[in-house]
Amino acid sequence: MESAHPPSYAGLYPYLQRFERDFDYQGAMEWMDTNWTQCVHWCVFYVLMIVLGQRWMQNRTKYTLRGPLIGWNLLLGMFSVLGTIRFVPPLVSDVREHGFEWTLCSATWYRDPVLHLWGSAFAFSKVLEFGDTVFIILRKQKLIFLHWYHHVTVLFYVWLSYKEQLAGGRWFIALNYGVHATMYMYYAARAAGIYIPRKVAMVITSSQTLQMVIGCVINYVSYKLLFVDKVPGCSASLTNIVVSSVMYFSYLLLFLHFFYGAYVRKSKLEKKEQ
């Protein structure tokens, strides 16, 4: 199923910049292949940051940080918008031309400099997103298990998948870029004091939950292609499928639990109080 050369996506990139076109994707692949285990160090650093940060803030007055929080969310929101613009059109094009299953087996997109640039940026952004937790700690907000568990496991899995050049990774990247584009813009608006209807938050949480459902489906189809259909040259592995399945299914359960607590149960309590 693998081809010698990646499909041409030249016509799908509006306002293509030179740094994107000339990105050294081979050097990036070599770096990730050699250094992907650094993500473990970042995960350890993140957990220590949480423990020590909360202890440091325990007897201190919380920070407001309204301006920095708005800027932070706008930055990540715009980054996600740009990533969506770059990742979604080629994915849709390949599904139309080759089919869904082809996109789960062909890793040729790693040799497209533009996609690889934004894929690499996505991988490193998982470290940058630790900043979300910094704001929670400094503002002394409640840090739920879903939040920090998600940050740790996503970083590890993304770097592992990039090292393995997982074909279906483009689906996970495109979905995450799209959901985060909306999510961070919503957070920026909330931080700015702009009124946002509660239904918008419900839609965002629903889209996050749907992302996890799609992730589980992708893992199931990938397993079928690899071990039932035995597609030759399919860029997937049992280890990755198992890790991804455990991760996405746990996310699904946690997001469903969060949705119920934040919207369903809360709505019932509000009706009782009335």
- Token pair listed for 259: 């949705």
| Measured torsion, CA atoms of residues 11, 124, 81, 174, in degrees rounded to the nearest 10 | 60
Nearest-5° Cα angle at 100, 97 to 240: 135
Which residues have a catalytic role annotated? 150
As to burial, measured by CB atoms within 10 angstroms (0-12 exposed, 13-18 middle, 19+ buried), residue 230 is: exposed
Q: Determine the Cα–Cα distance for residues 274 and 272; give it in Å rounded to an integer.
A: 5
Phi and psi, residue 195, nearest 5°: -70, 125
CB within 8 Å of 93: residues ≥ 6 apart:
7, 9, 12
